[in-house]
Amino acid sequence: MQETIERYRRHNRSAQTVNRSDEQNMQHLKQETANLMKKIELLEASKRFNILLFLSIFTNCLYSLLDFTHNKMNILHVYHSSLRKLLGEGLGSCTLEELQQIEQQLERSVSNVRARKNLVYKEQIEQLKEKERTLYAENARLCEQLISSKNN
């Protein structure tokens, strides 16, 4: 009987040790689960933050692009308006000073066109003079050839 009691006590102690070990293991698993849940929450918050950051940057880029396009459109409008005025259109709203500036610009433009035209004419004249010299030389050679062939 004593032996049975002793066996019972040993079995009881080992069962308590196993129970304590299981409890410790369970506590550790609960703590690990809590840590993983916190990490998941942090990752989700980081993901939301990154999405918001991306959307913010993208929106800023769109606003910059729209502003750039608007500025370019304004510049094109000014150029178009200036061109129309140089063509003599839309002059009704111009002041006397603006009209004088347009006239001066046109005079400078005509002067530049005439200067370029004169340069092109001079280049063509030089080319024609060179061609004339070549033709005179060719003509002289042919005349000599003709005389030479008559003499033979």
Cβ proximity of 48 and 55 under 8 Å = no
Q: Are residues 76 and 98 in the same domain?
A: no
Same-domain pairing of 71 and 101: no
Same domain, yes or no: 84 and 101: no
* Shared-domain flag, residues 112 and 71: no
Residue-level pLDDT at 112 = 98
- Are 85 and 108 members of one domain? no
Residues spanned by the domain of 7: 1-92
Does one domain contain both 125 and 76?
A: no
CB neighbour list of residue 84: distance below 8 Å, 6 or more residues apart: 90
Q: Verify that 78 and 13 share a domain, yes or no.
A: yes
Name the domain boundary from 56, 76, 92.
92
- pLDDT number for residue 110: 96
Same domain, 9 and 60: yes
Q: State the total domains in the chain.
A: 2
- Indicate if 6 and 72 belong to the same structural domain: yes
Q: What is the pLDDT of residues 55-91, one digit of tens each?
A: 999 999 999 999 999 999 999 998 898 888 888 888 8
Alpha carbon distance 67, 59 (integer Å): 12
Task: Give dist(CA 47, CA 41) in Å, integer.
Answer: 10
Q: Which of 92, 113, 140 is the last residue of a domain?
A: 92
Residues 7 and 58 in one domain: yes
Model pLDDT, residue 69: 93
Last residue of a domain, one of 59, 92, 125: 92
Report the C-alpha gap between 43 and 147 in whole angstroms.
Answer: 105
Q: 102 exposed, middle or buried (CB, 10 Å; 0-12, 13-18, 19+)?
A: middle
My answer on whether 48 and 106 are in the same domain is: no
Only one residue has tokens 């003709």, namely 146
Q: What pLDDT does residue 16 have?
A: 59
Average pLDDT over residues 18-22: 65
**Is residue 88 within 8 Å of 107, Cβ to Cβ?**
no
pLDDT above 90: residue 6? no
For residue 15, pLDDT beyond 60? no
- pLDDT tens, position by position, 27-61: 988 999 999 999 999 999 999 999 999 999 999 99
The helix or strand, by DSSP H or E, that contains position 93, with its residue range, turns out to be: none
Token pair in block for residue 118? 């004169």
Average pLDDT over residues 114-132: 98
Mark whether 49 and 37 lie in a shared domain: yes
Structure tokens at 73: 């459109």
